Amino acid sequence: MSEMDTGFSIRKTTRDDLPTLLKIESEVSPFPWSARQFGESIDDHDGCVLLKGKRVIGYLFYQQVLDQAELLNIAVRPSFQGEGLGSLLLNMCMDTLRDTTVQLHLEVRASNFTAIGLYLRAGFKQIGQRRAYYRSEMGREDALLMAYNFLENGAVSV
């Protein structure tokens, strides 16, 4: 577990986190991941939870294949949003991948301006778009494809 000066800590996700992850996801996503999706991510991908004391307040999952990685899901409890904790989780993930990854990819709802701002501030660039990718209350919504290039940012040498 990683301890931070602010009373926050980060540790690897476990199956015991599943009920809390589902609760947070239902609070932040109009179409939340299922218990099955979280279970598969806990078992098959890299994930961590952000804690304030012993309380899980956020999480992040990513998948790395060779020198490429994909951010699968990131969320922070609504009552803790706006405090830079999403950036904290994202930066931790990027620091973990920095020496072994060429690009970190993600998809984000075109209407999720808060997340898009987070990714742009972290150095991601939009590299494409998937039309009508996400379900939405109005039918379908586009996904923006974004990537962070570690080579361009001087992080990795392959």
Task: List residues with catalytic annotation.
Answer: 107, 119
Contact 122, 107 (CB under 8 A): no
| Separation in Å, CA 16 to CA 9, 12, 19, 49, 60 | 17, 11, 7, 11, 16
| H helix or E strand, kind and range, residue 95 | helix 85-97
Q: Give the Cβ contact number of residue 131 at 10 Å.
A: 9
**CA-closest candidate to residue 13, choices 122, 128, 93:** 93
Q: Which residues of 11-20 are buried (b: 16+ CB within 10 A; e: fewer)?
A: eebeeebeeb
In whole angstroms, give the CA distance from residue 112 to residue 135. 13
Reading the block at residue 43, the tokens are 């078992």
